Amino acid sequence: MAALHLENLVPDYVKGFECYIPSKPDQELMKLYGVDHLHRLNNNENPLGPPPQAREIISRYPPPRAAIYPSGDAYYLRLRLAERFGLHPDQFLVGNGANEVIAFAIKAFCQAGDNIVTADKTFAVYEWVAQFSGFQARLAPLKDFAFDEQALWERRDQRSKIIFICNPNNPTGTWWDLGRLRAFLAAVGGRQIVVVDEAYCEFVEHPAFPDCLRLIAEHPNLVVFRTFSKMYALAGLRIGYLAGAKEVVEVIRRTCVVYSVNGLAQEAALAALADDAGHIARTRELVRGEKAYLLQELAALGLPVQSGEGCFLMVRLPMSDTLAYRRLMGQGVMIRSMTGFRFPNWIRVSIGQHEAMEAFVRGLRGIL
């Protein structure tokens, strides 16, 4: 048998990249921690599940359809998105979750020696995809838990191709209003692609929050990411999309993998858009009420909290966040420890049903 010279085959940027290790399946975690239930408050999932018409599609999906390749470019979903948002179907690109469209965008515009710019404490996949693709990720510090346009500006150079802004930001919930975003886009001009990730935009009720899809005609270097994983509760089907000017999306389309979005995901997303008004209203009501309950309870415990928009908040603990994770897991409550996201001793808690919120508060009191 010939020897495998793996050291000579793997690029240095892959050797130096520390990969993300996902948690074990829920059943395995329950065995490990000796619990018979698990409140999932770690992944910002919608506890109400998908909208009714999407549930119907999922429950009645014909097994023979599994043998047939789906639309390679999510044709009907792009038509529906275009109709919904007043854009052209060719201005949309659908991917296997938002993670895939992040990779499409980075690979479309970056080559050896290029870099992307984003914050140091935001959704980590922008940084990860750049690094394991061989590109530098330049990170700007947050200011008051929010993206700082001056810091982003200072991190750019002539090899910066994309600036990523998460609005509202995961995990801090802070956001830029329309005026602030417009001023930043005007300052950038056409020198870089500006990606605004709006994964949690449907949770925001503040009237000053910008709808970036409406800004694309005004700023052709703007690319907007959205997902069906959060508000629409299709995280298990992995489907997200980007939108931008036709000429920009056409460039990104050259890097995409066709047929990567399965047929059930495409049909469920279509159905989710068909009856989303009531679903969005119900979800917002739940998040609003349970977040208020958590804020009251956490204030009574004297714990610092960072809460903005979105279906989550952050809590600073007087102990190790990884230790808190293990102790809460022993009570059947799963949260996100934040040391790996550069927030040591903080945890992020997804908003869930009231039973789950009570279990979290009870568990937190116990470990403190």
- Give the list of residues 6+ apart from residue 105 with CB closer than 8 angstroms, or none: 162, 193, 195, 223, 242, 252
Shared domain for 157 and 181, answered yes or no, is yes
Shared domain for 203 and 327, answered yes or no, is no
Q: What is the CATH number of the domain that holds 363?
A: 3.90.1150.10
Q: Name the E strands within the chain.
A: 39-40, 92-95, 115-119, 136-140, 160-166, 193-197, 222-227, 240-244, 305-306, 312-316, 333-334, 336-337, 346-350
> Do residues 315 and 333 make contact, with C-beta atoms less than 8 angstroms apart?
no
Shared domain for 242 and 337, answered yes or no, is no
> Do residues 209 and 182 make contact, with C-beta atoms less than 8 angstroms apart?
no
Shared domain for 204 and 315, answered yes or no, is no
**CB burial of residue 159 (10 Å; 0-12, 13-18, 19+):** middle
| Number of domain units in the chain | 2
**CB burial of residue 357 (10 Å; 0-12, 13-18, 19+):** buried
Q: Indicate the residue among 228, 251, 274 that finishes a domain.
A: 274
Question: How much is the pLDDT for 6?
Answer: 86
Question: How much is the pLDDT for 287?
Answer: 98
pLDDT tens per residue, the chain (368 residues)?
A: 778 888 888 888 888 877 778 889 999 999 999 999 999 999 999 999 999 999 999 999 999 999 999 999 999 999 999 999 999 999 999 999 988 999 999 999 999 999 999 999 999 999 999 999 999 999 999 999 999 999 999 999 999 999 999 999 999 999 999 999 999 999 999 999 999 999 999 999 999 999 999 999 999 999 999 999 999 999 999 999 999 999 999 999 999 989 999 999 999 999 999 989 999 999 999 999 999 999 999 999 999 999 999 999 999 999 999 999 999 999 999 999 999 899 999 999 999 999 999 999 999 999 99
Question: How much is the pLDDT for 241?
Answer: 98
Shared domain for 57 and 44, answered yes or no, is no
Shared domain for 196 and 306, answered yes or no, is no
Q: Indicate the residue among 274, 293, 327 that finishes a domain.
A: 274
Please list, residue by residue across 287-321, b when 16 or more beta carbons sit within 10 angstroms of its beta carbon and e when fewer do.
beebbeebeebbeeeeeeebbbbbbbbbbbbeeeb
Tell me which amino acid residue 106 is.
Answer: I
Q: Is residue 36 part of a domain?
A: yes
Question: How much is the pLDDT for 2?
Answer: 78
Phi first, then psi: what are they for 315, rounded to 5°? Answer: -130, 135
Shared domain for 285 and 182, answered yes or no, is no
Q: Is residue 172 part of a domain?
A: yes
Question: How much is the pLDDT for 5?
Answer: 83
Q: Is residue 290 part of a domain?
A: yes
Q: Indicate the residue among 233, 249, 274 that finishes a domain.
A: 274
Question: How much is the pLDDT for 247?
Answer: 98
Q: What is the CATH number of the domain that holds 265?
A: 3.40.640.10
What is the extent of the structural domain holding 91? 52-274
Shared domain for 228 and 135, answered yes or no, is yes
Q: Is 94 in a helix, a strand, or coil?
A: strand
Q: Is residue 9 part of a domain?
A: no
Shared domain for 244 and 261, answered yes or no, is yes
Shared domain for 77 and 160, answered yes or no, is yes
Shared domain for 248 and 285, answered yes or no, is no
Closest to 368 (Cα-Cα) out of 305, 307, 316, 293: 316
Shared domain for 319 and 250, answered yes or no, is no
Question: How much is the pLDDT for 14?
Answer: 86
Q: Is residue 7 part of a domain?
A: no
Q: Is residue 16 part of a domain?
A: no
Taking the CA of residue 247 as centre, how many other CA atoms within 13 Å lie in the half-sphere pointing to its CB? 5
Tell me which amino acid residue 228 is.
Answer: F
